[in-house]
Amino acid sequence: MGDPRALRCVSCRTEYGPDELEYTCPTCGPRRGTLEFLYDYDALRSELTRERLAADGERSMWRYLPLLPIRDARFIQQLLVGWTPIYRAPALGRELGFAELLVKDDGRNPTASYKDRASSLVVIAAQEKGKEVVTCASTGNAASSLAGFAAATDLETVIFVPERAPEAKVAQLLIYGARVFVVRGSYDVAYDLAAEAADAFGWYNRSAAMNPYLVEGKKTGALELAEQLGWDLPDAVFVSVGDGSVISGVCKGFEEMRTLGWTDRVPAVIGVQAERSAPVARSFDRFDGVTVEIDDGPADTVADSICVGAPRDIVKAVTYVTRNGGRFVVVSDEEILDAIRVLARRTGVFAEPAGAAAFAGAARLARAGELKEKRVAILVTGNGLKDVRAARSAVGEPTVIDPVLARVEEAL
Ligand SMILES: Cc1ncc(COP(=O)(O)O)c(C=O)c1O
Ligand SMILES: [Zn+2]
């Protein structure tokens, strides 16, 4: 079982007891005062070694249990989350000038997105804390993931999604039995409403950033990536960014591995944002090493999952990526749609727009002559079937014919 030592505020760095606070630092407030779990790394160094891991037959994110803030294994769900495959794409990688291109497909998780890594933990935390109702606002994936993992328990789920949430994600919510509110407005307003409702009705809130369990789940993708590659880390890892929680988790995972002596360095973690939804990238470019500027604005992109104008984990994302030696890259919607097509046609991995955005970022840097002879990994964070409409807009129409061979021949 994991046994976190403390919760620390990412801004003022005050340490609180691991159960002292539910959400954020009271001094720094919800945006700046997100919390991170700390562990007794010295003790873990002897308990959780590479050799121990190699001998562990568990093929899920629970192989990293001592490094996760879970006390009661009874609540671990049967739904199999994590240990998603990594594929090599040698021909495509060579065309881009990379030494290697690796694709980790997290669309293979139970509800088909990376968010399952976080939801599974939060659902356990809710049960450990004796909660009855879990809630969140989400662009769609965090919500469908929460609804899916809660469905396997006695927890009830109340969800807030923006009007632009794709059909498939809303269908998932309803099928899993969540109470669903489609909020007239953006994700950013849905987020505030969910927080108010959680407060008013005593629900446990899984919305991005404010709940410290989330980043813990999200770090497991990095742990797996390293272990699956035999601890031979790539040079760069691309992750798409909306609120900034996934990338924060990935950075924390790489840092903790180095602290535990599993690896001796960290790869550069590169965040990818959409052109018209890039507040984290903007803030990163202006970061003075002390205060993260929060410059919210309207957001718009075909990649609904990263359509975020008021990113809630911006402070963590900017400080972690700076410390990691990584950076941000911004891509257009056309590049994202092109990336869905190329990735599917060259690797067989069908990604939703935000999942393909990671590849679009790598392709953008390759075209600029960067990352030559580097080993590059991309995290595909969501399955393409999550947003079929976006995928259809990236391709032509099929040919409709009468059931006659001659028609096929004519059309060919
Ligand atoms: C498929 C997918 N990719 C990337 C992200 C970005 O994660 P974050 O909002 O934590 O930056 C999300 C978040 O919803 C997502 O669903
Ligand atoms: Zn603080």
Q: Which ligand sits nearest to residue 27's alpha carbon?
A: 2
CATH code of the domain containing 373: 3.40.50.1100
Is 403 part of any domain? no
Q: Which ligand sits nearest to residue 138's alpha carbon?
A: 1
Q: Which ligand sits nearest to residue 13's alpha carbon?
A: 2
Q: Give the residue whose CA is nearest to atom 14 of ligand 1.
A: 305
What share of the chain in percent tops pLDDT 90? 98
42-93 pLDDT per residue, tens: 999 999 999 999 999 999 999 999 999 998 889 999 999 999 999 999 999 9
Residues with CB under 5 A from ligand 2 (ion): 9, 11-12, 25, 27-28, 33
**pLDDT confidence bin for 350, thresholds 50/70/90:** very high
Q: What is the pLDDT of residue 376?
A: 98
Q: What is the pLDDT of residue 171?
A: 97
146-198 pLDDT per residue, tens: 999 999 999 999 999 999 899 999 999 999 999 999 999 999 999 999 999 99
Q: Report the pLDDT averaged over residues 142-146.
A: 97
Domains: count for the chain: 1
Is 260 part of any domain? yes
What's the whole-model pTM score?
0.98
Q: What is the pLDDT of residue 2?
A: 84
Is 167 part of any domain? no
Question: Which atom of ligand 1 is nearest to 308's Cα?
Answer: 9
Using a 6 Å cutoff on CB, does residue 243 contact ligand 1?
yes
Is 31 part of any domain? no
SS (H, E, C) the chain: CCCCCEEEECCCCCEECCCCCCCCCCCCHHHHCCEEEECCHHHHHHHCCHHHHHCCCCCCHHHHHHHCCCCCHHHCCCCCCCCCCEEECHHHHHHCCCCEEEEEEHHHCCCCECCHHHHHHHHHHHHHCCCCEEEEECCCHHHHHHHHHHHCCCCEEEEEEECCCCHHHHHHHHHCCCEEEEECCCHHHHHHHHHHHHHHHCCEECCCCCCCHHHHHHCHHHHHHHHHCCCCCCCEEEEECCCCHHHHHHHHHHHHHHHCCCCCCCCEEEEEEECCECHHHHHHHHCCCCCCCCCCCCCCCCCHHHCCCCCCCHHHHHHHHHHHCCEEEEECHHHHHHHHHHHHHHHCCCECHHHHHHHHHHHHHHHCCCCCCCEEEEEECEEHHHHHHHHHCCCCCCCCCCCCHHHHHHHC
Is 409 part of any domain? no
Using a 6 Å cutoff on CB, does residue 139 contact ligand 1?
yes
Q: Which ligand sits nearest to residue 353's alpha carbon?
A: 1
Kindly tell me if the per-residue pLDDT of 403 is higher than 80: yes
Question: Which atom of ligand 1 is nearest to 248's Cα?
Answer: 10
Kindly tell me if the per-residue pLDDT of 1 is higher than 80: no
Q: Give the residue whose CA is nearest to atom 12 of ligand 1.
A: 305
Report CA(26)–ligand 2 centroid distance (Å).
Answer: 7
Using a 6 Å cutoff on CB, does residue 240 contact ligand 1?
yes
Is 223 part of any domain? yes
Using a 6 Å cutoff on CB, does residue 306 contact ligand 1?
yes
Report CA(138)–ligand 1 centroid distance (Å).
Answer: 9
Report CA(26)–ligand 1 centroid distance (Å).
Answer: 26
Ligand 1 binding pocket mutation candidate from 109, 113, 359 (most atoms within 8 A of CB): 113
223-280 pLDDT per residue, tens: 999 999 999 999 999 999 999 999 999 999 999 999 999 999 999 999 999 999 999 9
Q: Please give the residue range of the domain that contains residue 245.
A: 86-110+214-392
Kindly tell me if the per-residue pLDDT of 220 is higher than 90: yes
Is 96 part of any domain? yes
Is 66 part of any domain? no
Mean pLDDT for the chain overall: 97
